[in-house]
Structure 1
Amino acid sequence: MALEPAMITSATKLNRVWRLVMTGFCFALFGVGGLLLSVIWFNILLLLQRNPHTRRRLARRSIAASFRFFLNTARWLGVMDYRIEGADILRQERGTLIVANHPTLIDYVILASVMPETDCLVKGALLRNPFVSGVIRAADYLVNSQADELLPACRERLAKGDTLLIFPEGTRSRPGEEIVLQRGAANIAVRCGRDLRIVTIHCSEHLLDKRSRWYDVPPRKPVFRITVQGRVDITQFYNDETQQEPALAARQLNRYLACRLSQEHRPLAGFNDASALSGN
């Protein structure tokens, strides 16, 4: 027997109220979890593990595990759902830059949950946030406000096999507007001679974007789709045998990344996707 329209409407409203309340709960859970990690667990690590490299690795794995718990809780409560196409590729990456678009507030949480030892380039302003500053320091993430030290630090960590996660937009994108990339990721890739792996993030609803508050719950449950795409071979843009200036190569690479991260997947004039991509 078909349900009456009034019953469907009531069920939809009830579901939205439930997701609003559970969204608030998840935000509180995330904040409390960040404080507990910073105040208790990371201090225990500091006492028990004197080797800074081992301590950093354990901290990053702890962060990834806590993010998986948070995401599984949000999924179980019906707040959101997500699927990652190519998660195994991200886990196996070494010595590369992972570049992704940035539509929502939890993009980093989703990606870091499947990359237990990833490094990340974060905004200096986050060091003033009491809920995440301890996490940033314990994981020893790179801070983009340290301009003089940033490039040498990136080169050193990438050479050691670290994977560096960057959102080249610098902030969340605005729905309906063309994305604009800062040139930091392209400059790091060119000047460090490292390949990039492209990841695109799509959310089915407007949720936690630049124009939304946490309580702006969409009418339907949002579903995140994260797609791990091809690896960009940096030698297609810059190598020691060319006479091209690094700054020009970085501009060209930045244009290419903007095209790929726009999710439109149209080839950019002057570039051949088949020759610019290699790997998985």
Structure 2
Amino acid sequence: MRLAHWRALRDAVRLRLGLGLLALMGLAWSLLALPLSYLLPRSPGLRLGRYSAGLTFRVYLRLLTWIGACRFDLRALDALREQPACIIAPNHPSLLDALMVISRVPHVACVMKAELMRNILFGAGARLARYIRNDSLHAMVRRAVTEVRGGSHLLLFPEGTRTTRAPVNRLQGTAGLIAKYARAPVQTVFIETTDAAFLGKESALFRKTPMPVRYRIRLGQRFDPPKNVAAFARELEQYFKAELADAALTDRPAGTAARDGQRARDWSHGGSA
């Protein structure tokens, strides 16, 4: 029993430390990004903002690995780096999803909730990176199409919010709409985890969580630009349901601790954690 209490206390400290680090790093970058968003012209500001977002999130995920809060296997995303622009469409179980993709895919444009663009921790950095607000559908689609046609990958969560109905929420038609007008494919991405409720939409922020929480990303099917947006949304939803139905990661058996340690060291040298 004492060991169980010790582990629970250790994991609670890891969780709070991880969230505190995210807040501190977000606030520090916002204090720098705020004046830069006014001083820099659009193009250099955009490049600096997106590069800095990727670097910041990469460091943050390494820190989560180092403190033992999470383990990440994001290597599948590396295949997107040199590919033509597409809509990156992942499922959305947790708050860390966008961070994982942005940390690994350089200079990606991201569709964000409008309230996050005003958030004290992330708003200034998002504005510097010229991320796209989702409060106006017409403006969002127009800007997203411009980004993709200009050669940038676009990160868009088809669920519109974090998953509340396993295995995936009802999908919106936005990804297909943008793909149709940008004449770009939709690359599905699956985020699998050992704890689907961790930092989820309906989960308490400080819920008791056994750590490390493991994440693995894999690439799914790449869909051609659709002609019928509504039909494409239904097809995409069925595909996500089928792929995610039995995709939850499970804790690996005893004896993998050494491999976990090696994977953490690999991450610190630029690999996955």
Q: Does TM, normalized by the shorter one, top 0.5?
A: yes
Structure 1 equivalent of residue 23 of structure 2: 31
Q: Is the 8 A contact 1:207 1:217 kept in 2?
A: no
- In the alignment, the residues of structure 1 paired with residue 46 and residue 34 of structure 2 have an alpha-carbon distance, to the nearest angstrom, of 10
Return 150-159 or 20-29, whichever deviates more: 150-159
Structure 2, unaligned runs of 5 or more: 246-273
Aligned residues: 244
Structure 1, unaligned runs of 5 or more: 1-8, 239-248, 267-280
Q: Is the 8 A contact 2:33 2:125 kept in 1?
A: no
- Structure exhibiting the larger radius of gyration computed from Cα positions: 1
Distance change in 2, residues 1:104/1:263 (3 Å): farther
- RMSD value, Cα: 2.1
Structure 2 equivalent of residue 40 of structure 1: 32
- Match status 1:216 vs 2:207: yes
Structure 2 equivalent of residue 229 of structure 1: 220
- TM-score, length-normalised on structure 1? 0.80
The residue type equivalent to 1:256 in the other structure is E
Which string of whole-angstrom CA distances, capped at 9 and with x for unpartnered residues, describes residues 119-175 of structure 1?
A: 011111212321111121111001111333222222221111011000011111125
- TM-score, length-normalised on structure 2? 0.82
Q: Is the 8 A contact 2:87 2:153 kept in 1?
A: yes
Distance change in 2, residues 1:87/1:148 (3 Å): closer
Structure 2 equivalent of residue 15 of structure 1: 7
Find 1:76's aligned residue among 50, 66, 75. 66
Deviating 4+ runs (over 6 angstroms): none
Shift of the alpha carbon at 1:178?
A: 4.7
Structure 2 equivalent of residue 264 of structure 1: 243
- In the alignment, the residues of structure 2 paired with residue 257 and residue 178 of structure 1 have an alpha-carbon distance, to the nearest angstrom, of 11
Q: Is the 8 A contact 2:117 2:126 kept in 1?
A: yes
Structure 1 equivalent of residue 153 of structure 2: 163
Return 108-117 or 148-157, whichever deviates more: 148-157
Distance change in 2, residues 1:263/1:19 (3 Å): farther
Return 148-157 or 161-170, whichever deviates more: 148-157
Find 1:109's aligned residue among 92, 99, 116. 99
Find 1:251's aligned residue among 225, 230, 234. 230
Q: Is the 8 A contact 2:86 2:185 kept in 1?
A: yes
Identity over aligned pairs, percent: 25
